[in-house]
Structure 1
Amino acid sequence: MEKTMAGTESAHIPQQRGESLQETAVRYADERHWDVVPGTWLEAADGVQHCSCGEPACASPGAHPAREDWATQATGSATVARRLWSKQPTASILLPTGRTFDAIDVPETAGFLALARMERMELTLGPVTCTPDRRMHFFVLPGAAAKVPDLVRKLGWPPASLDLLALGEGAYVAAPPTRFGSRGAVQWARRPTPANRWLPDAEELISPLAYACGRDR
């Protein structure tokens, strides 16, 4: 199966304790060659954290695009990333999908079930995130969004019957340590390391992910 390189041989874990959002974003661009874009941020008012977008019922406070042209603002340059976050140091870190990687989005319970099965099967895995709204994102080769519905269908499920979505061009994932309001921060279930610089094809992961989502219904 063809794979692609998601980082360099010398790539380190891109987030370290105490590291600022700016430095983390710079490391994602520099060491993993991921495009990054600053999103909204959290603002405190009367002791309560609110999203900078100003929407009281914001679904992802502090963790969504801050402007309509966010996709064109995204950059893979560490220098540009440093400049972008210098304007708003507490901005969330968003990673556009459909470029260096796509992401398969599943419920947390199904994701951990699938992750355990994948590890037993010794499958090649890329980075995986967990979000405070109990979702998991499995990083895979670009192009997954176009073929996942057919892959799920071939496994015997109507795509709409499973809580499984492939994020590609025009979408994004929030990267650690971005916070979702008071709900907590995005975390790595599997950190980006030199060992997982090779991303799997969606076809390699779809069976355990679809099976886990089917059980989770």
Structure 2
Amino acid sequence: MEETIEQRGAASTAQIPQQRGEAPQDTAVRYAEERHWDVFPGTWMETVDGVPRCSCDDTGCAAPGAHPTRNDWPAQATGSASTARRIWEKQPSASILLPTGRTFDVIDVPETAGFLALARMRRMELTLGPVLSVPNGRTQFFVLPGASAKVPDLIRKLGWPPSSLDLDTLGEGKYVAAPPTRFGTRGAVQWANRPTDANRWLPDVEELISPLAYACAREARR
């Protein structure tokens, strides 16, 4: 592996700059205001009789503290900072979720493959958008919308059957959890490549698919 998880460095895992003690409400507002991302509230972690659990009360929850609370969540999502503030005032502990397929799509890969690809992309000086590191062992790359329709053919052109790689595209009707959302007891979602003024313009998936597919194929051979 070209870069271990421990070698990422403090800068690469830093979250979007926050004020000390900033609440999820303030972060959600800044995502809407500064990045023009739609946001919507999800579940949250709570402690009952000393045991942490998801607010959905499902003891077998697959994404504790980091999933929608309603089936109609796409209609909840808002790009209005004032509306976001009102939503989180009602439930200050709610996680911050971002719908994909609107201002961005997301390429979701295993954590090890993601950081291998990220190291290679930086050496190649590729244009990178924000990248998430999720405590469930996944790395998520933000790209321009429309990636879902392109990825299968792009992978085939590189010589792999799409089904052979652990690489998923999150587009319309899906979502990601954003920092500082906590993912169960595993920790918080973090930025592996944080949002900055320099990466407001997202890369097309065609620019990143080769190193991502290569890293996923290498991981599959382990």
Match of 1:152 in 2: 155
Aligned runs of 1:64-83 on 2, under 5 Å? Answer: 64-83=67-86
Match of 1:45 in 2: 48
Q: Distance in 1 between the 2:154 and 2:126 partners?
A: 18
Gaps of 5+ in 1: 1-12
Q: 1:150 to 1:14 in 2, by over 3 A?
A: farther
Match of 2:206 in 1: 203
Q: Distance in 1 between the 2:82 and 2:167 partners?
A: 36
Q: 1:110 to 1:92 in 2, by over 3 A?
A: same
> Is 1:56–2:59 an aligned residue pair?
yes
Q: Distance in 2 between the 1:177 and 1:27 partners?
A: 12
> Is 1:184–2:187 an aligned residue pair?
yes
Q: Distance in 1 between the 2:137 and 2:22 partners?
A: 24
Q: Distance in 2 between the 1:182 and 1:17 partners?
A: 22
Match of 1:106 in 2: 109
Match of 1:6 in 2: none
> Is 1:119–2:105 an aligned residue pair?
no
1:139 aligns to what SS in structure 2? strand
1:153 aligns to what SS in structure 2? helix
Match of 2:5 in 1: none
Q: For residue 16 of structure 1, report the CA deviation from its aligned partner.
A: 4.1
TM-score (norm 2): 0.91
Match of 2:4 in 1: none
2:185 aligns to what SS in structure 1? helix
Q: For residue 43 of structure 1, report the CA deviation from its aligned partner.
A: 1.4
Confirm or deny: 8 A CA contact 1:14 1:192 kept in the other structure: no
> Is 1:142–2:107 an aligned residue pair?
no
> Is 1:29–2:32 an aligned residue pair?
yes
- From 109, 134, 152, the equivalent of 1:131 is 134
- From 145, 158, 170, the equivalent of 1:167 is 170
Q: Distance in 1 between the 2:164 and 2:20 partners?
A: 40
Identity across the alignment (%): 78
Gaps of 5+ in 2: 1-15
The one-letter code matched in structure 2 to 1:69 is D
Confirm or deny: 8 A CA contact 1:152 1:206 kept in the other structure: yes
1:199 aligns to what SS in structure 2? coil
1:183 aligns to what SS in structure 2? coil
The one-letter code matched in structure 2 to 1:116 is A
Q: For residue 15 of structure 1, report the CA deviation from its aligned partner.
A: 3.8
Q: For residue 14 of structure 1, report the CA deviation from its aligned partner.
A: 5.4
Deviations 1:52-106 (A, max 9, x none): 1111000110000110000111000000000111111000000000000000000
The one-letter code matched in structure 1 to 2:87 is L
Q: 1:14 to 1:114 in 2, by over 3 A?
A: same
Q: Distance in 2 between the 1:191 and 1:17 partners?
A: 17
Match of 2:3 in 1: none
Deviations 1:111-169 (A, max 9, x none): 00000100011000000000001101100000001111111111111111000011000
Q: Distance in 2 between the 1:139 and 1:16 partners?
A: 24
Show structure 1 runs of 4+ deviating over 4 A: none
Q: Distance in 2 between the 1:27 and 1:155 partners?
A: 38
1:181 aligns to what SS in structure 2? coil
Q: Give the RMSD, CA atoms, in angstroms.
A: 0.9
How many residue pairs are counted as aligned between the two chains? 205
Match of 2:219 in 1: 216
